[in-house]
Amino acid sequence: MSPDELWDVVLASSLLHDIGKLADQYVERSKAPPTHLQHHQLSAIKAYKVLSEVFHNNYIATVAALAILYHHEALDWRSLDSRALAFSYLRETFTLTKSINYTINQERLKTFSGNLGEALKLLCEEGAIEEGQHDLLLRVLRRASRELLNNKPQSVGEVLSVNNAKRAEFIVPAFFLYRLLYLADNRAASARSRYWLGLLKRVNWRNAEVVAEQIHRALTQRRYYIGLSAIPEVSMKRKAMS
């Protein structure tokens, strides 16, 4: 695979990584029970199906889907109790996850697809993406929209193989892509919530040493998840030490 093709995979995965948020059960999650739909699981299922068709390559589709599945791994840990050290992320995700039931508001999906299509066109006109990348992403978007309308219940284990998730040739590139998605996702969320603007307003610009300390705290106060819980056969002792 050429560098350009690798970049195409990154762009397509970025476009699809939150596609599950379009489900009614996610949009209306404040009205749903605590065990509401996990959007990253639905996104991974749909991403696999879309990318396997667009790239005609099940390996690429699997790597991208695993990266999307892991990019919100922390969400799955919220339901754990003090027995967390004995928890297996892979076992929970692939064997215990029930079939995902969801519905789609077709008008919302139409609005989303139209708006994102216009955004992709503008990115191409401004030179942020090339014409070929624009065409690829437009195909991905259209295929994803059709796939979302096919809301047949499925589980992660039915679409992705847990055995592949344990193999280095899948998990290593998936972790690299996962990290890119995780960072991009958090930066986008921070910008949307005016997070950085709020931080800047609290900075004491008259004192350079204090400013440096505040910047250091802002950049180091959060932990970054790199999917280590997904690595198979890690002992409880090693987990406790990490």
Of residues 44 and 95, the one with the higher pLDDT is 44
| pLDDT > 50? residue 227 | no
Of residues 212 and 131, the one with the higher pLDDT is 131
First-to-last alpha carbon distance for the chain, in angstroms, is 35
pLDDT at 70: 80
Sign of the dihedral defined by the CA atoms of residues 125, 126, 127, 130, in that order: negative
The number of domains in the chain is: 1
Tokens of 54: 């667009």
Comparing 53-62, 79-88, 153-162, the range with the smallest average pLDDT is 79-88
- Rg (C-alpha) for the chain, rounded Å, is 19
Of residues 75 and 13, the one with the higher pLDDT is 13
| pLDDT > 80? residue 214 | no
At residue 159, what are phi and psi to the nearest 5 degrees? -100, -45
Q: If you average pLDDT over each of 30-44, 144-158, 177-191, 197-211, which comes out highest?
A: 144-158
Of residues 48 and 90, the one with the higher pLDDT is 48
What is the helix (H) or strand (E) element at residue 24, kind and residue range? helix 24-27
Of residues 185 and 36, the one with the higher pLDDT is 185
Tokens of 116: 């994102």
pLDDT at 20: 92
> What CA–CA distance (Å, rounded) separates 99 from 155?
4
pLDDT at 156: 86
Comparing 31-40, 97-106, 144-153, the range with the smallest average pLDDT is 31-40
Of residues 237 and 129, the one with the higher pLDDT is 129
- Domain encompassing residue 41: 3-241
Only one residue has tokens 């400013």, namely: 211
pLDDT at 23: 93
Comparing 90-99, 107-116, 205-214, the range with the smallest average pLDDT is 90-99
| pLDDT > 60? residue 49 | yes
| pLDDT > 50? residue 241 | no
pLDDT at 238: 42
pLDDT digits 0-9 by tens, 13-42? 999 999 999 999 888 877 766 556 778 889
- Percentage of the residues of the chain whose pLDDT score is greater than 70: 67
